Amino acid sequence: MEKRSTALVIKSTGSWYALRDVRSGRPLAGRIRGSLRLRGSRSTNPVVVGDRVEYETTDDGTAAIVGVCPRSNYIIRRSPNLSKESHIIAANVDQAFLVVSLYRPATNNEFIDRFLVTAEAYRVPATLVLNKCDLYVTDELREIRASFLHAYSLAGYEVLETSAERGDGVEALKARLTGKVSLLSGNSGVGKSSLIRAVDPSLDVRTGEVSASSRRGKHTTTFSEMYPLEEGGYLIDTPGIKGFGLIDIADDEACRYFPDLLRHASGCAYYNCTHTHEPSCAVKEAVAQGLIAPSRYESYLKLLEDDKKYRK
Ligand SMILES: Nc1nc2c(ncn2[C@@H]2O[C@H](COP(=O)(O)OP(=O)(O)OP(=O)(O)O)[C@@H](O)[C@H]2O)c(=O)[nH]1
Ligand SMILES: [Zn+2]
C-alpha cells in the first residue's frame, strides 16, 4: 500500500489545489483522485480551503487527494448559479474578525449584527476590530464610540481598537491572528487592507490581487484562498459581504444568535416568544432597562423581517 500523508488545502482553482504538507510544510500541487466520493455532500466543491486532506504522492511528484478529514466547521455560500447546490467557502475556521469604522465610513449596525449572527450560527468565535480610532476625537464621535463599545460589551463580544494609520492595536491584532486560521471581513473603506498591511507587510500585494479579482469575477465562481502569515497562521480574506455565509433561521430561533437577547429570553411568559408583540416579554423589558442595546434589538427585528421577505 502507498504511503499516505496529511496536507492542508491553501488554495483551490477548481481542479487543482495548492497544498502544504502538515508535517514538513512542503508545498504541493494536488488533484482529487477519481475514486474520491464524499458521502452525502451536496456542495459543488468537495475539497475546500482549510480542509485537511490525505494524499498519496504520485510518480510525477504531485499529490493525489484520497480523503478529506472531518471538519470542525465550514462556511457555505449559495452557489452563484442559483441551483440548490451550495458552495463551501472555507473549512476549519478558528475565528472571524469584522473590521468596522464609526466615521468615514460609518459601518452600519445591522451589517455588524448580521456578521455576528452568521458567526454564531457557524459557531465561529467573532471579534470586532474598531479601526480608525485616531479619528474619534470630537465630542460627538467620542459619544458614538462609547455607545458602540457599550452595546457590544453588553452583547459579550470583544472589540479590539486599532488605528492602521498610527499603529495602535496592531500588535494586539497580530498576536490574535498568529497560529490561527482567521476569516477577516469588513465593508469597503474601513481600512481592512491597511490593517492587513500593518500586521504583515508581506501580504500586501497578494491581498490587492484577491480583492480585485473577486470584484471583477461576479459571474464566475470565486475560489477562496488562505494567505500564510509571516509568523504562522492564515488569513482568509472575504469581500465586504453581509454576514459571511448562508443561513436559514426560523423566527423562534433567531434569538439564539443574539447572546445578549438570549440571556433574557428564559424570563419571557411564552416559551416560543418572538420578542415582538407578546406580553410579558423579558427581552423587551431588558431593552427598556438598558440591559440590551436598542441597536441590537433593532437588528434582531430587522433579521426577522428580512427573513420573511426572503421566504415569500
Ligand atoms: N484616519 C485613519 N484612516 C485610515 C485608517 N486605516 C485606513 N485608513 C484610510 O482609510 C481609507 C481606506 O483604507 P483601506 O485600507 O483601503 O480600506 P479597505 O477596508 O481595505 O477598503 P476596500 O479596499 O475598499 O475594501 C484609506 O484612505 C486609508 O488611508 C486609520 O486607522 N485611521
Ligand atoms: Zn420575549
Q: What is the DSSP letter of 199?
A: H
Instruction: Going residue by residue through the chain, which has 312 residues, state the pLDDT in tens, using 9 for 90 and above.
Output: 568 999 999 998 878 999 999 999 999 999 998 766 655 556 667 899 999 999 999 999 999 999 999 999 988 776 555 556 677 888 999 999 999 999 999 999 999 999 999 899 889 999 999 999 999 999 999 999 999 999 999 999 999 999 999 999 999 999 999 999 999 988 889 999 999 999 999 885 444 444 444 444 433 445 678 899 999 999 987 654 555 666 677 777 889 999 999 999 999 999 999 999 999 999 999 999 999 999 999 999 998 887 665 554
What pLDDT is recorded for position 250? 77
User: Residue 173 CA: which ligand is closest?
Assistant: 1
What pLDDT is recorded for position 49? 92
Gap from CA of 295 to ligand 2 centroid (Å): 17
Q: How far apart are CA 191 and CA 198, in angstroms?
A: 10
Predicted-assembly ipTM surpassing the 0.90 threshold: yes
Tell me, using a 6 A CB cutoff, whether residue 153 lines ligand 1: no
Gap from CA of 112 to ligand 2 centroid (Å): 23
Q: How far apart are CA 8 and CA 52, in angstroms?
A: 5
Residues 193, 196, 200, 202, CA torsion sign: negative
User: Residue 268 CA: which ligand is closest?
Assistant: 2
Gap from CA of 247 to ligand 1 centroid (Å): 29
- For residue 56, the SS3 value is strand
Q: 172: Cβ–Cβ under 8 A, 6 or more apart, which residues?
A: 160, 162
What pLDDT is recorded for position 263? 96
Residue 242 near residue 111 (C-beta atoms within 8 A):
yes
Residue closest via CA to ligand 1's atom 14 equals 191
User: Ligand 1 pocket test: which of 111, 194, 215 has the largest number of ligand atoms within 8 Å of its C-beta?
Assistant: 194
Q: 311: Cβ–Cβ under 8 A, 6 or more apart, which residues?
A: none
What pLDDT is recorded for position 124? 93
Tell me, using a 6 A CB cutoff, whether residue 193 lines ligand 1: yes
Gap from CA of 5 to ligand 1 centroid (Å): 42
What ranges in 86-241 are assigned the alpha helix state H?
109-122, 139-155, 170-177, 192-199, 204-216
Q: How far apart are CA 65 and CA 5, in angstroms?
A: 10
Angle between helices 170-177 and 192-199 (to 10 degrees): 80
Q: How far apart are CA 145 and CA 135, in angstroms?
A: 10
pTM: 0.88
What pLDDT is recorded for position 246? 62
Gap from CA of 236 to ligand 1 centroid (Å): 18
Q: DSSP characters for 145-174?
A: HHHHHHHHHHHT-EEEE--TTT-TTHHHHH
Tell me, using a 6 A CB cutoff, whether residue 102 lines ligand 1: no
Residues annotated as binding site for GTP? Answer: 131-134, 186-194
User: Residue 287 CA: which ligand is closest?
Assistant: 2
Tell me, using a 6 A CB cutoff, whether residue 189 lines ligand 1: yes
Tell me, using a 6 A CB cutoff, whether residue 186 lines ligand 1: yes
Tell me, using a 6 A CB cutoff, whether residue 197 lines ligand 1: no
